[in-house]
A and B are shown apart, each in its own frame.
Chain A
Amino acid sequence: EPEVTQTPSHQVTQMGQEVILRCVPISNHLYFYWYRQILGQKVEFLVSFYNNEISEKSEIFDDQFSVERPDGSNFTLKIRSTKLEDSAMYFCASRWGTGVTQYFGPGTRLTVL
């Protein structure tokens, strides 16, 4: 069964460093998403991406964040200058054009020291 994959599973970085989280969505899916879950809190929407552009973003997704689909399979989330409060699980998700169901990857645990 097709699944969303994410790398790395765990990323440790120093405050102020740039990180890139990678995702391979399910092929033939058209919508791509990033969510995050800070420990003990809800899963929160960050950004959605469709047709090679951001279609919606939350207040969390400020200028420090960017997304890219550099080729036909990868979808990346970049944080330019990490802060301590960026420490969280980051989940990538994708969905087909019709329907609402989003399929999630296993997540990347980001730890900012």
Chain B
Amino acid sequence: DQQVKQNSPSLSVQEGRISILNCDYTNSMFDYFLWYKKYPAEGPTFLISISSIKDKNEDGRFTVFLNKSAKHLSLHIVPSQPGDSAVYFCAASALQISSGSARQLTFGSGTQLTVLP
């Protein structure tokens, strides 16, 4: 099951520069996309989301871009800080009438971001 893919297992950037994390999906029924950050021994922490009716959503240093035709989204972090070092998960959700809008999340495999001081 590869409905959500994060092809880069790791990414290193210098402090102050831009971090770009990528995610691809195959299921056209996905209508919401979310990014989570995860530190070791902790649960995923919600960062930012985007609806499929938008192509961009911004929250402080974090911006998510959605390209529906390419089934691709990306998370931009500007400027990157050492505290941003974590695993970043892309997740997607589809409205399924049969399950009463349960909206399970389908996760990618994650990208380990390391921000170097």
A residues near B (Cβ < 8 Å) are 4, 6, 31, 33, 35, 41-45, 48, 50, 55-56, 58, 91, 93, 95, 100-107
Contact = CB atoms under 8 A, between A and B. Distances in A.
A41 B110 CA distance: 9
Interface stretch (B67-75, B78-86, B94-102): B94-102
A45 B106 contact: yes
Interface residues of B, number: 25
Q: Which 7 A-B pairs have the closest CB atoms?
A: A104-B43, A56-B99, A48-B102, A56-B102, A55-B102, A43-B107, A45-B104
Q: For the complex, would chain A's binding face be called helix, strand, loop or mixed by DSSP majority? A: strand
A100 B103 CA distance: 7
A58 B96 CA distance: 14
Contacts of A44: 107
Among A33, A101, A107, which residue has the most Cβ atoms of chain B within 10 A?
A101
